A and B are shown apart, each in its own frame.
Chain A
């Protein structure tokens, strides 16, 4: 995964809103905080962000509203032009692309799902799904075939001729998902796709989403303000505040080692046992005895074993081979909240 070149690579990206953002950025003092910038009459949407998104990875960008997460993802797809820094998609600097090539890139490589769906109200489900195909000039027959296929994939068979207003929120978002998948994109952006849905539907849609991801294995940038959702879905989480990335790491690391006070507050109320896996706790130098456990098992899942077992070190396997041993006490500390 890490040996390949990243799919999206951004370096020192700035996005500033205001009258004259470029000139303002040149004059900016690197230590300036979000509030200092606002004082000067500008809004910093994205502040000096550098990160990579790897092939097949699911990166969740997480933050409260106004933290710049939506802005950042719109910079990735150049819905916003960035003020400073570089963004490369598959090695290509997207800021230097002329409009035609940018449109081609979106037509062939990118798909996006929106919080309030962004469906075209005058088109049926099928026509909405086929819209990107129509835009790139595919003939009527093939785009219909493909659209029917994707509509089936998201489980909306039989509703092809409905109009968006005739569907429930969850169904509308399925249409949004189907549309974003119609062109078989390599990169999939999802901007708070489930935030507008009821909690029960949200859970169902998350499951659906995981199912699709297992089927398709896309590179995904997923935005949410819901930490539980982030933990549930992410390979890596980037936590944003005031336009800057506070920490970008795996869920286990964020829960175990929050980089800043802000991140720590976020993770405070999280049941760490449900997040941390055996693999993270394994010490590669140590060797245990007895039955090994799988690296992907969460502490919560092995709670009963942890309490009953008497071994100090429990061996951990990943893909069939032993990668080290997990100190039982460390796992118990996570389960029970450490020694108070």
Chain B
């Protein structure tokens, strides 16, 4: 009864929605046809320069007002003092910066031993090997100092992001108005390109580690807030009531009931904080943060592929180590000891770690190699690797393949596509995007698309924005063409699903910067390398969610299809894919978000899009322009995010999936 009542108007709504979308498409086709016929007035093709409001100038004025007249700069410079002191202290401990407390650097052997013990405590021998092995590798390959420069910032930024995220998460959970304010800010923050974090950090917190730490911290806060709120909301009402009946005061409730019960979500948040911090701290090389990122940037810049590769491996190992360890911590449950277990047995891991730490520290006093691996003592094979890679690329057949790909994709596909997108009149392009939002999601999302893309047009960076969009669209399309078939095939068997998922999960922990290495290796510094790096980066979520979607199709349904005599293909097309589609859409969405993120980083290779301009602003103090560019990217990303997520949610509800 109620079903029939609701389905009738919604069917009617669908019809008009589709008609509206179709109308918009026709409108843009018409405009484009006029443009090609040379009949379209120039002001309809592109917004004339004179009509572009100078947002950058206005923003600059606002920033200057906030910065100087309201005294924000004095405040942040004051905060800088405290942060700088913390960074110096951790710098001293990790790599021997000559500052208080003047104890460091900790010998690499001692740290590696502690990492192995922590790994063993959290997840047995495998994690012990991963923890100890990663640090041993880092030391032996001769990257200990730069790695520790990176870790010393991480050691400050991650706890800071954790504390701030946790507090804001609690506040958002407790007070509806905080939640109301924070929600939109978070969704913008999560789509804002990282370059936009960097410049304000530089201006308010000076160039170098301090600004890097601030940008890193801010970047890592949003997921912590979300996970905290989620965890607190999920605490079972009976546990809450049990707390109340035990006579907890409000603070006792939070401290003893809510926070411990939300442990899992909070620790997942910690995992995300650590991973985002690592990804960002590598990227802060762009604003002069020393460490792995800076070294990688320098090596790639001078095309030293062997060394780049080695640094890439270090970064990946560190990422995997931190990820696995923090994830193991999430699932680690407290264990009880039998009565009468002696004290040393209860704390044996702690004692072992401390013992090894002291032991290796003492050893390093007599054996210098245990403290630090000198310049000529490392096992770096940079030059040899370099020669190998270059030799491999010089092999005729390899060169033929990459050369063909480069030529074919560039000449036949990418450049024509880009030129076509650029040739579209601005209103036609906007109409297409609005039609897309209208058809998939509805009026509200279409309105957002209209506003967001109109703002991009008004910003005066339309052509560059379109090039950005072109990179994203072509990379995601290629990623789908390659990734979807692999995922569909893998999803057929349990074994391969697990394997591919494991690869995807691992790949997802890599800091995005690392993806540039194979792209540059294979394609040099070209457009194709940009597309290629985005492509592999975007393929990860696509494959992951496709497999997940296909594997979680309820078995009754596939069995029903089998019993109806469906062939494999019929089953795939008629049962599995339709049911997996909402989940796959989430993967698509993530792929697009990742692509927007990566396209900006790829500016490093040399592109002509917004990222390039953004990167340029870093050199100066163009805060206004930096923000305009960043917000352009954010607005385009948000349009897709809102539309696709709404579609996925609608579809899920319609299919009755959880």
Contacts and interface: CB of A to CB of B under 8 A. Distances in A.
Contact of A118 (B239, B252, B336): B239
A19 to B, nearest CB: 15
Interface stretch (A100-108, A303-311, A327-335): A100-108
Interface in A93-150: 103-104, 106-107, 110-112, 114-124, 131-132, 134-136
B304 interface: no
A119 B239 CA distance: 6
B336 A163 contact: yes
A36 B275 CA distance: 54
Contact of B238 (A103, A116, A180): A116
A114 B240 CA distance: 11
Contacts of B337: 161
Contacts of B252: 135
Interface centre among B241, B242, B246, B248 (most CB of A within 10 A): B246
Contacts of A79: 241, 244-245
Contacts of B244: 79, 106
Nearest to A182: B246
A114 B239 CA distance: 9
B256 interface: yes
A296 interface: no
Interface in B523-570: none
Contacts, number: 81
B41 interface: no
Contacts of A11: none
B242 A107 contact: no
B7 interface: no
B236 A116 contact: yes
Interface in B207-261: 236, 238-239, 241-249, 252, 256-257, 260-261
A171 to B, nearest CB: 14
A200 B430 CA distance: 68
Given A135-B252, A161-B339, A162-B336, A120 B239 contact: yes
Interface string A153-190: 00000001111011000000000100110010000010
Nearest to A132: B246
Given A119-B242, A121-B261, A122-B260, A106 B247 contact: yes
B247 A136 contact: yes
A136 B252 CA distance: 10
Contact of B241 (A104, A112, A179): A112
Contact of B246 (A115, A161, A163, A179): A179
A119 B260 CA distance: 12
B580 to A, nearest CB: 33
A300 interface: no
A131 B256 contact: yes
A105 to B, nearest CB: 8
A219 interface: no
A180 B239 CA distance: 13
A74 interface: yes
Contacts of B335: 163
A132 B256 CA distance: 11
Nearest to B259: A122
A201 to B, nearest CB: 19
Contact of A112 (B242, B248, B336): B242
Interface in B337-356: 337-339
B241 A131 contact: no
B254 to A, nearest CB: 13
Given A121-B261, A163-B333, A165-B333, A112 B247 contact: no
A211 B460 CA distance: 82
Interface residues of B, number: 25
A120 B256 contact: yes
Nearest to A110: B245
A117 B238 contact: yes
Contacts of A132: 245-247
A118 B247 contact: no
Contact of A135 (B239, B248, B263, B338): B248
B334 interface: yes
A163 B334 contact: yes
A258 B520 CA distance: 85
A337 B573 CA distance: 63
Contacts of B261: 120-122
A191 B257 CA distance: 20
A77 interface: yes
Given A112-B241, A161-B336, A163-B336, A120 B257 contact: yes
A106 B246 contact: yes
A111 B245 CA distance: 7
Interface centre among B238, B263, B333 (most CB of A within 10 A): B238
B345 to A, nearest CB: 14
Contacts of B333: 163, 165
Contacts of A121: 260-261, 263
Contacts of B336: 124, 161-163, 166
A281 B178 CA distance: 65
Nearest to A78: B244
A112 B243 CA distance: 10
Given A114-B238, A122-B260, A165-B333, A103 B249 contact: yes
Nearest to A108: B247
B244 to A, nearest CB: 6
A227 B247 CA distance: 32
A160 B249 CA distance: 26
A165 B245 CA distance: 22
Given A79-B245, A106-B245, A110-B245, A118 B256 contact: no
Contacts of B241: 74, 79, 112, 114, 118
23 contacts: A79-B245, A103-B247, A106-B245, A107-B247, A110-B245, A111-B245, A114-B241, A114-B242, A116-B236, A117-B238, A118-B236, A118-B238, A119-B239, A119-B242, A120-B243, A131-B246, A132-B245, A135-B247, A135-B256, A161-B337, A163-B335, A179-B246, A189-B245
Given A103-B249, A124-B336, A161-B337, 19 more contacts: A74-B241, A79-B241, A112-B242, A114-B238, A114-B242, A118-B238, A118-B239, A120-B242, A120-B243, A120-B261, A122-B261, A134-B256, A135-B246, A135-B247, A135-B248, A161-B336, A163-B333, A163-B334, A179-B246
